[in-house]
Chain A
Amino acid sequence: MATSAGTEGSVGLVETSRVVLFTGDDPLVLDSGATLAPVEVAYETYGTLNADRSNAVFVCHALTGDAHAAGHHGDPSRVGWWDTLIGPGKPVDTDRFFVVSANLLGGCQGTTGPASTNPATGEPYGLRFPLFTVSDLVRVHRKLLAHLEIPTLAGAIGGSLGGMQVLQWAIDHPHDIRAGLMICSSARLTAQNIAFSAVARAAIMRDEHFHDGDYYRFGERPAVGLTLARMMAHITYLSETSMREKFGRRIQDADAPRYRFGVDFQVESYLEYQGESFLNRFDANSYLYLTRVMDYFDPFGDLPAAIARLKEVATRFLVVSFDTDWRFDTKHSLDLVRVLQGAQVPVTFREIASPHGHDSFLLPVPEYHRTVAAFLDRVAREVEPAH
């Protein structure tokens, strides 16, 4: 859903790099004890690393993101998914920060995932790809930083699942990150959140072309299931208000209802489009794994143990929520704030008024951008050499 942007404030032409971070001799050891190799990671960088390598900001993407967060790959009208936020003079200011953005483990945009070839069989992993945790995502991020010879981060930022990685990273490695930014994120999915994920996965796994995850072998894919999963998820990304304003009860390509079961209302047409276009860029198995990693995420599940670990954390946090977000509503963010503060972790919180629901974190909502910019400005001043 790229929007056009002028060259001003853009990082311009960028390309995705790839690097093999784990090999058979040095495999990725997951929380579960399973090992994985090779692990290749797709990533992009923007801006310039300073002399003491202290100005890096890591971008953690959400469920369906990828490494291409900012700039363009040749067509300036098709920009990265967080181009509104990242660039020269933007809230994540590439004139001041060196930004690293990587596709997640288990993803399908260049990083090793279930569609990658399993070296043991010579075929795609499918559901033989091991289940992994948010900590495992962080392990891979850290290995990329080691490859880039970046010892610590000025910042780590993410929305939704991205914010979960920021939180887990700070807990697992309490001195890695100076400033952690969690946008409309959560420390724990609710039963309702898990229920939506469950239905999405059911749609995929009950598709007759799913073949227990081995659809690659048949040259097929569970297109119906993945489309339905995306259509339903998309409803949860928008607010009731934004849907009413955007579509209302308007009829697609006509003035009057046609009284039929095919697409008639504009909102139906929109969801069809969202579902269809998703097929071209996402692998159904990746969708299963990356929704499942969110379901199990619960870093504060054992609260006394979590607080003991948080007391070591040197990161200070910005937590932002949006008032019309009902996927991860403000209560999710306030729960985060309460636990972090209770463990004496410095935390700043702001609820932003925005009509766009969960999707707000991808949109140029002025007060949201102002908040991120102010928080990161302070961080930039701390890591910039004194004049």
Chain B
Amino acid sequence: MVPRGSRVLDLGSGDGALLQHLAAERGCSVTGVEASDDGFFACVARGVPVVQADMDSGVSEFEDGSFDVVILSQRLQATNRPAVVLAEMLRVGRAGIVSFRNVGYWPHRVDLAVKGRMTVSGTVPHAWHDTPNIHLCTIRDFERLARDLGIRTTRRVLLDAAGHEAAGRAVRLRPNVLAAGAVYGLNR
């Protein structure tokens, strides 16, 4: 989903491993936005250019169309204003890649329906009161938001609990229940 030689922004770039890989293996011109000190210094040690900022304000520091691809990997739920961040991603970038965990995945429904508790599992690994993930959503929620924002989905890859592409007819028919997560290619 990331073309060779493209200009890539990774929002919430963590330790910069993805960007280092894209720079070294795919000749991409990369920039990270990372709020944490640990992540910032890990990026610097890798030689990955990084702007220390939170995702909400960081994405707004760049000019229109400065990137070919803007990545938001497993961080949408940690943004303060997901709709603004998505819109900003597609302002500064020509295309976006967003991945997130699907809170509609059936084990999470079981937690809530049977145990009566907010889910805490491998795919949503924090207690509700102590989590960076303040804006959890389901696949259906996300697709609705994208549509409301006028964002086009160019590609969707459904994920299983291990983070691999989920195969099979069942998950394609009932992704909001059977997929643990999803990756979207987006543009305007």
- Measured CB to CB, the residues of A under 8 A from B are 316, 334, 337-338, 341-342, 344, 346-351, 370-371, 374-375, 377-378, 382
Which among B51, B53, B62 has the greatest number of chain A C-beta atoms within 10 A? B51
Which residue from B40, B41, B62 sits with its C-beta under 8 Å from A342? Answer: B62
Asked whether A348 lies within 8 Å of B45 as measured between CB atoms, the reply is no
Q: What separation, in Å, do the CA atoms of A348 and B50 have in the docked complex?
A: 5
Interchain CA distance A334-B47 in the complex, whole Å: 20
**B66 is contacted by which of A342, A348, A351, A371 (Cβ under 8 Å)?**
A342
B108 lies within 8 A of chain A by Cβ: no
Closest A residue to B42 by CB, please name it: A374
Answer whether A344 and B29 are a contact pair too, CB < 8 Å, given A338-B63, A378-B45: yes
Contacts of B66 in A (CB 8 A): 341-342
- B41 close to A374 (CB less than 8 A): yes
Q: Lowest 9 A-B CB distances belong to which pairs?
A: A346-B49, A350-B52, A349-B51, A374-B44, A342-B63, A344-B29, A348-B49, A342-B66, A378-B47
Chain A interface SS verdict (over half): helix
Q: Which residue of A lies closest to B43 (CB)?
A: A348
Which partner residue on chain B sits nearest A344 by CB separation? B29
Task: Choose from B29, B46, B52, B63 the contact partner of A349 (Cβ within 8 Å).
Answer: B52
15 residue pairs of the A-B complex, CB under 8 angstroms, read A338-B61, A344-B7, A346-B49, A348-B43, A348-B44, A349-B50, A349-B51, A350-B40, A350-B51, A371-B44, A374-B44, A374-B45, A378-B44, A378-B45, A382-B47
- A311 shortest CB reach to chain B, Å: 11
B31 is an interface residue with CB less than 8 A from chain A: yes
- Contacting pair A337 B61 (CB below 8 A): yes
Expressed in whole angstroms, the Cα–Cα distance for A348 and B41 within the complex equals 11
Among candidates A316, A342, A351, A371, residue contacting B49 with C-beta atoms closer than 8 Å: A316
Indicate which residue in A348, A374, A375 contacts B51 across the interface (CB closer than 8 Å). A348
A344 to B75, CA, bound (A): 25
CA–CA, A55 and B45, complex, Å: 18
* 5 extra interface residue pairs, beta carbon distance < 8 Å, beyond A341-B66, A346-B31, A375-B44: A338-B62, A338-B63, A344-B7, A348-B51, A377-B45
A334 to B43, CA, bound (A): 19
Q: Which residues of A contact B51 (CB under 8 A)?
A: 337, 347-350
Expressed in whole angstroms, the Cα–Cα distance for A15 and B123 within the complex equals: 62
Closest to A371 in B: B44
Say whether B62 contacts A351, CB under 8 Å: no
Complex: A344 Cα to B67 Cα, angstroms: 9
Report Cα–Cα, A342/B63, bound state, in Å.
Answer: 7
**A382 proximity list for chain B (CB < 8 A):** 47
Q: Would A341 and B45 be within 8 Å (CB), given that A348-B51, A349-B52, A351-B52 are in contact?
A: no
Enumerate B37-92 residues with CB–CB distance to A below 8 Å: 40-41, 43-47, 49-53, 61-63, 66
- B residues in contact with A350, CB < 8 Å: 40, 51-52
CA distance in complex: A3, B7 (Å): 46
What residues of chain A lie closer than 8 Å to B49, measured between beta carbons?
A: 316, 341, 346-348
In the bound complex, CA of A370 to CA of B45 (Å): 12
A341-B40 contact given A347-B49, A350-B52, A351-B52, CB 8 Å threshold: no
Closest to A377 in B: B45
